[in-house]
Amino acid sequence: MPKNLILVRHGQSEANVIQRADKAGDQALFSEETMLVADRSWRLTDAGVAQAHAAGTWITNHVDDLDRCITSPYVRTRETAANLGLVGARWEENRVVRERSWGEISPLPRKVFEEQYAHNALLRRKDPLYWAPPAGESIANVAENRVRNMLSTLHRESSEQNVLVVTHGDFMWSTRLVLERWSDEEFLRYDKDSEMTIFNCTVLHYTRISPDTGEVAPWMRWVRAAHPFCDRTTGQWRMVEQPWQRFDRDYLSNEELLAVAEEQARLLSE
């Protein structure tokens, strides 16, 4: 595996602004024009560009020279990659790190989705890990197919290197699921934890190098996160950094597997 793997979510896009308003109950920004924009074509806002500048400065100050730079081919990730301002970066595009597919519901306001796809909306609330939009991908799909594809490629081609990937929020969420070996229950818990939010231009820095001793582990063992924050007084963006967290490979005994199963009540009496 690479010594360091840095993942960056794209900066705020025009679609993010529309989606945020929709979540607040305002569908005014949905129009025939916006609903016909292909997901891959959305541009960054001015705030998104400023977020990318802040993230790029943080990366430059905290990570040694980058050996490989990869970006999703979507416009918003291309724009983010360029605005990181990484001197001498040579970018390669890779579709495997593209946005999760939202299928048929991609251009729809939330209210329309709830009305036209009522059963699918129910499934989303019941099981967000395995739920997939009609003709789209679940988080589990992205994790087990595309994330593992990326990690396998990096294992073969970028061993001992420092690799940067500019991608999308759900791809990063899926990467955490795989690299940090979350159980289904951990995913469901973290999915509701606001402190785990992947903001626009959040940086996830994985490393095999111990932050305390400098020793190199055989696989990724530590992760830290940083995300842009706008000072409303000055209008300047800065990065808010979280401390390193260690994670390990967990193995369960027969008894532990049964204990997890017993947390679910049986619905049928014998």
Each residue's pLDDT tens digit, 93-135: 999 999 999 999 998 999 999 999 999 999 999 999 999 999 9
How many domains are there within the chain? Answer: 1
11 belongs to an annotated ligand binding site:
yes
pLDDT at 78: 98
Q: What is the per-residue pLDDT for 239?
A: 96
Between helices 46-62 and 75-83, what is the axis angle to 10°?
50
- The answer to the question of whether 9 is labelled as a binding residue is yes
On the question of pLDDT at 232 being above 90, the answer is no
16 assigned binding-site residue: yes
Flag whether 270 is in a domain. Answer: no
CA 138, CA 124: separation in Å to the nearest integer?
10
pLDDT of residue 155: 95
Using one digit for the tens of pLDDT, what is the confidence trace for 84-98? 999 999 999 999 999
Tell me if the pTM is above 0.85: yes
Considering the domain boundaries, does residue 41 fall inside one? yes
Express as a percent the part of the chain with pLDDT over 90. 85
Whether the Cβ atoms of residue 16 and residue 77 lie closer than 8 Å to each other: no
13 is in an annotated binding site: yes
pLDDT at 187: 94
Which residues lie below 8 Å from residue 199, measured CB to CB, with a gap of 6+?
Answer: 9, 227, 228
Considering only CA atoms, which of 76, 78, 84 is closest in space to residue 15? 76
Residue 251 in domain:
yes
| Banded pLDDT at 52 (limits 50, 70, 90) | very high
- Answer yes or no: is 268 within a domain: no
Given this model, what pLDDT does residue 29 score? 87
What does the pLDDT read at residue 64? 84
% of the chain with per-residue pLDDT over 70: 100
Confidence of residue 35 (pLDDT cuts 50, 70, 90): confident
Residue 172, pLDDT score: 98
Asked if 142 contacts 100 with a C-beta cutoff of 8 angstroms, the reply is yes
| pLDDT tens digits, one per residue of 150-208 | 999 999 999 999 999 999 999 999 999 999 999 999 999 999 999 999 999 999 999 99
Q: Compute the distance between CA of residue 61 and CA of residue 238 in angstroms, rounded to an integer.
A: 13
Compute the mean pLDDT over every residue in the chain, rounded to the nearest whole number. Answer: 94
Q: Is residue 29 part of a domain?
A: yes
For 88, the domain range is 4-262
- Tell me the CATH number at 252: 3.40.50.1240
Instruction: Give mean pLDDT, residues 208-235.
Output: 94
In a domain, 18, yes or no: yes
DSSP state of 23: H
Catalytic residue numbers read 10, 99
Tell me: is residue 15 an annotated ligand-binding position.
yes
Could you tell me the pLDDT band of residue 15, with boundaries at 50, 70 and 90? Answer: very high
Across residues 49-73, what is the average pLDDT? 96
pLDDT for 54 equals 97
Whether 115 is covered by a domain: the verdict is: yes
In a domain, residue 65? The reply is yes
Annotated ligand binding at 245? The verdict is no
